[in-house]
Amino acid sequence: MLSRDSLVAEQSTLNSKKMRVANKKFRIIVPGRVRNRLSKTCFRPNSIHCAGNFSLWESSEDLLKEPSVKAFIIEEAEAILNEGKTGGIYSVTYTHTENVGWSSTNDRMKYSHLDLEDFFPNRKSMAMRINTTRKDILAPLTNDITFVLELSSRNERPFVVIKSIYPGNDIGDLEGNITKREGVVFFDWNHPGEE
């Protein structure tokens, strides 16, 4: 299901008539720079049981070969376009039938403030994360996959451009105080995960 709360209100100048989906096939694209970035965080070897890593797939290509995942992305893109929206960046979360890996976030209320430390995901955001010395607190397994995607078209053919993929729930934009806004804390990429 499309998470309406995570919709980024960026609109492009694409003409919605060019984005009609009737009898047209979507092409799903993962740009090389995105594949490269994700290979260092979410698509590390599945023998690495750490926060933010997938256990079922070792690349975005492998994940997108999963028929149910591909169908979900296309269904969500069609729903967005059928609502009359064009362009913009959207987050959607797919719930798989089994665990897909380890989330890099969890509910803030599950942890004492003594378990946490300040964390700055980027220059525009701050959050709390599990103290990196607390290896006894494990990153949770998850069956959710969040996709950040952009809709585009060329020669009247619709494209879905994947901007990011990660195991776990949508955490919104990496801006402001994420822990306060979303009620989540982070785990370091090298933090061990549940078995």
Q: Where are the beta strands (DSSP E) in 25-183?
A: 27-29, 89-95, 101-102, 105-107, 116-122, 125-130, 141-142, 144-154, 157-167, 176-177
Classify residue 95 by its DSSP letter.
Answer: E
Digit-coded pLDDT (tens) for 108-139 = 999 999 999 999 999 999 999 999 999 999 99
pLDDT value at residue 22: 40
Gap between the Cα atoms of 34 and 166, Å rounded: 12
The helix/strand count (H/E) of the chain reads as 4, 11
pLDDT value at residue 132: 96
pLDDT value at residue 1: 35
Within 8 A by CB and 6+ apart from 133, the residues are none
The pTM assigned to this predicted structure is 0.83
Q: CA 78 → CA 16, 24, 121, distances in Å?
A: 12, 10, 32
pLDDT value at residue 193: 97
Domain ranges of the chain: 4-186
pLDDT beneath 70, residues of the chain: 1-24, 86
pLDDT value at residue 52: 97
**Which amino acid, one-letter code, is at 170?**
D
pLDDT value at residue 155: 75
